Amino acid sequence: MSFRDFWWQAFRHCVKPTLLVIELWGLGDLVIASPFMQAASRKYDVTLLAKPYAIDLQERFWPGVRVVPFHAPWTAFRRKYRFLSWPWREIIRLRHLAREDFDLGLSARWDPRDHFLLKALRVRSRYGFPRLRSKVFLTDSLERPELDSHRYENWRTAGRALGLELPERDHIELMGQPKPDGNVLVHSGAGQSVRVWPLERFAAIVARLRREGRTVIVACDPDQRDWWLKTGETQVATPHDVSDLLRLVDTSRVFLGNDSGPSHLAAYCGIPTFTIFGPQITEWFAPLNPKGQCFEGKPCPYKPCFDYCRYPAPFCLRDITAEDIWEKFEPFVKRN
């Protein structure tokens, strides 16, 4: 060993080991990963490769984590493998991570693309859940939790492999608490249209809440704004980024929304969250809040369908009436 290598190894032992975490998907996925990120940052020097809005989460939830923003083209909903349109310049720019010589790397998804990326970035010890022979890219294969387990269990399993003991889902420390005199926040948006409960039924719930004397704030995605304005909703909140959404959540005491990133964010901020599910399964993706409640979508032989419905319309969600939701949501609001 050269004199330079000797001192480099000695220096590495004096500082935290470096850890690269890959979570390239949605806002809800990042929120579910948050307890792991907090625990890992106490033991490791953590770098997270994620979509750009992870920077807003980092400021509030895991300030000790460095975020490298990256919009992975294979996470697009449509046309994800049109290689000529991929942002190759941005992809090539990731080479700088290979020069950082990470001690460990991790993906909590059973996604061969993540595993290949860990290998390509020359991470020394690579942890993941192998699938489709992606074991060749990993140095340490992890055994997946039971198939009906919540996605958070993947992070608990990964944490144990790295010497981290994460709490059970019902004992996670939430990052806030509801405002006692706050609003009922109703968010009608979702990342994909097959997860959006019909807007006219959201409007029916909003009207009934107001008839009971409750203060309601309606929030939505940009493409829904005109619909709400046409119904007479004069002050529709349309968050432009995660920071805007967090400011809305901070004024709330109860949240109603779809199976979506905003629902996960509100729940982790301590807001009791009522979440309407459609094509997904609540056992896998229920928001991280023991006071939350999920409404399971109607049965379907293809469920879960991961945002690609085989029918002209997702009847698992469209067949849920406003009365179905009100029957469960009204006592939920009173209880919280």
Q: What pLDDT shows up at residue 193?
A: 86
Instruction: Please say whether the beta carbons of 243 and 58 come within 8 A.
Output: no
Give the single-character DSSP code of 166: P
Find all residues with CB under 8 Å of 275, minimum gap 6, and list them: 257, 258, 259, 263, 267, 282, 286, 287, 292, 293, 294, 295
Q: What pLDDT shows up at residue 179?
A: 87
CA distances (Å), origin 2, targets 8, 13, 15, 99: 10, 17, 21, 20
Nearest to 102 by CA among 164, 46, 174, 20: 20
- Is the peptide bond preceding residue 304 cis, with omega within 30 degrees of 0? yes
Q: What is the dihedral of CA 88, 91, 96, 99, to 10 degrees?
A: -110
What are the φ/ψ torsions at residue 134 (nearest 5 degrees)? -75, 0
Calpha distance 293→282 (Å, rounded): 10
Secondary structure, 3-state, 116-156: HHHHHCCCCEEEECCCCCHHHHCCEECCCCCCCCCCHHHHH
Q: What is the CATH number of domain 11-167?
A: 3.40.50.2000
Strand order in the sheet with 104-107: 66-69, 45-50, 18-22, 104-107, 125-128, 140-141
Chunked into runs of 10 residues, the chain (336 residues) has average pLDDT values of 52 76 94 97 96 93 95 72 72 87 95 93 96 93 92 97 95 91 94 92 97 95 96 92 94 96 97 95 93 93 81 90 97 94
Query: Which helix or strand (DSSP H or E) is residue 20 part of?
Result: strand 18-22
Q: Which amino acid is at 84?
A: L
Q: What pLDDT shows up at residue 87?
A: 74
Angle of the 261-268 helix axis to the 242-249 helix axis, nearest 10: 50
Q: What is the CATH number of domain 183-331?
A: 3.40.50.2000
Calpha distance 146→214 (Å, rounded): 42
Q: Which residue has the tokens 């400011």?
A: 247
Give the single-character DSSP code of 221: -
Residue-by-residue DSSP string for 22-81? E--S-HHHHHHHHHHHHHHHHHSEEEEEE-TTHHHHHHHT-TTSEEEE---GGGSSSSTT
> Which residues face 68 on adjacent strands?
49
Instruction: Please say whether the beta carbons of 122 and 143 come within 8 A.
Output: no
Q: Beta strands 18-22 and 273-276: pairing type?
A: unpaired
Domain boundaries, the chain: 11-167, 183-331
For 256, half-sphere exposure in the C-beta direction (CA atoms, 13 angstrom radius) is 26
Instruction: Please say whether the beta carbons of 115 and 128 come within 8 A.
Output: yes
